[in-house]
Amino acid sequence: MQVYPWIGLRKNDVNQFYWENNDDVTYTNFGYGEPNGDQRERCVQVVLYCTACDKTSLTLY
């Protein structure tokens, strides 16, 4: 079973990211093509291995 935990990072209505505790976002490492602008994707999860990009990445879901 694959588990992709939510890390407390969200996206607001104007596509800005914020931490659940309101700390500034100072680093991101999204997979290739992410975030892709899908308005339904509001929470950031950790994906430990991305076969499309061959690296550890953060992916929006």
Read off φ and ψ for residue 18, nearest 5 degrees.
Answer: -150, 150
Contact 30, 60 (CB under 8 A): yes
- pTM comes to 0.62
Q: Going residue by residue through the chain, which has 61 residues, state the pLDDT in tens, using 9 for 90 and above.
A: 667 788 899 988 888 899 999 998 998 888 788 888 777 888 888 877 656 555 445 555 4
| Torsion sign across C-alpha atoms 45, 46, 47, 53 | positive
